[in-house]
Structure 1
Amino acid sequence: MLVNGFQNGEEEGPTSCDGQYHSDDLFLVSMASKWYGPGLLCGKMISIKRLIGISVQTMVVDDCGDGYGDNGISTAAAVWKALGIDTSIGEVPVLWSDV
């Protein structure tokens, strides 16, 4: 999991699902193209779990492309905070699944 900015002026622009910018205080996730597909997961919830057992539910709002690998995700800072992870770490292993 990587950290992603969903606000205006961050990352790549508005989200693919709705063409809007969103607060980084929301539980949002971008998924690898393999899973995001042609927007089939837009608005769907997934569960993201740290390897030590803490989990949160997040809404899929964007495609993060193939640069993160087949199972890669990037999330808003709020997800990192809820999971108790410092965003400066850069990348952390997590498990994710459909809700």
Structure 2
Amino acid sequence: MASMASFMLLASFCLFSFITLPLFTKATSSCNGPCETLNDCEGNLICINGKCNDDPDVGSNTCSGGGGSTPPPNNGGGDCHPSGSLKCNGESEPHPQYTCSPPFVPSGTRATLTLNDFSEGGDGGGPSECDETYHPLPEKVVALSTGWFDNRSRCGQMIRITSTKTGRQSVAKVVDECDSVHGCDEEHAGQPPCRNNIVDVSQSVWDELGLDSNDGEASVTWSMA
């Protein structure tokens, strides 16, 4: 009888523990839900300061006005709006100018990947701003939009770029600014101001990510390496 009583007590304890302990499942977080990576947030939401919120790059307003119960927290920079516009010769539409970029997310900041030739005579124009030199292939180098370049504070630092299409990664060195304010002149090879969410890289990075540079652009995330 003592043995049976012990068995019943143990069975009751196990049943109680099963009922009361939380079930650990990998759930997708909605507005202001907890997160650690971009994959933890549903839809177009991204992980900012440990919570899922609207992506300022995509322009979603799920949390701030389109179905979320509370607005996103102050992310230290707010939305990045144009500071002006600039029209290149022969063009009818002006290009927006930016002194800022979307907020940097340590776990992975969404960006648009573009291609640049950092060698002498390439489409990048003059030498790189960080070191006043050219960077021919096969160097893996990158220029960041003005806001992310942050007054040269990221010069010489290594960033990790991840393709959202292939999942492959490449580590490249920040050597230049993709100027989001100035452009349409000889110094910038006639190109308009850079958009505020650009990671402009050498061909070697495209190749390592398994992407076709002929596409012109690709969706990526980047973080400090």
User: After TM superposition, is the score higher than 0.5?
Assistant: yes
Aligned counterpart for 1:17 among listed residues 125, 130, 136: 130
Q: Counterpart amino acid of 1:70?
A: N
Q: Counterpart amino acid of 2:209?
A: L
Matched position secondary structure for 1:93? strand
Shift of 1:61: 0.2
Structure 1 residue 29 corresponds to structure 2 residue 155: no
Higher normalized helix content (fraction of residues): 2
Matched position secondary structure for 2:218? coil
Deviation above 4 Å: which 4+ runs of structure 1?
A: none
What TM-score does the superposition give when structure 1 sets the normalisation length?
Answer: 0.94
CA–CA distance in structure 2, aligned partners of residues 70 and 64 of structure 1: 9
* Residue aligning to 2:176: 62
Shift of 1:53: 1.5
Q: Percent identity?
A: 32
Gaps of 5+ in 1: none
Structure 1 residue 94 corresponds to structure 2 residue 220: yes
* Residue aligning to 2:120: 8
CA–CA distance in structure 2, aligned partners of residues 53 and 83 of structure 1: 8
Matched position secondary structure for 1:17? coil
Q: Counterpart amino acid of 2:177?
A: D
Greater shift, 78-87 or 64-73, is seen at 64-73
CA–CA distance in structure 2, aligned partners of residues 69 and 25 of structure 1: 26
Aligned residue pairs, count: 99
What TM-score does the superposition give when structure 2 sets the normalisation length?
Answer: 0.43
Root-mean-square deviation over aligned CA pairs: 1.1
* Residue aligning to 1:85: 211
* Residue aligning to 1:49: 162
CA–CA distance in structure 2, aligned partners of residues 62 and 68 of structure 1: 12
Q: Which has the larger radius of gyration?
A: 2
Greater shift, 68-77 or 27-36, is seen at 68-77
CA–CA distance in structure 2, aligned partners of residues 21 and 13 of structure 1: 8
Higher normalized strand content (fraction of residues): 1
Shift of 1:68: 3.7
Q: Counterpart amino acid of 1:7?
A: S
Matched position secondary structure for 1:23? coil
Shift of 1:34: 0.1
CA–CA distance in structure 2, aligned partners of residues 68 and 47 of structure 1: 21
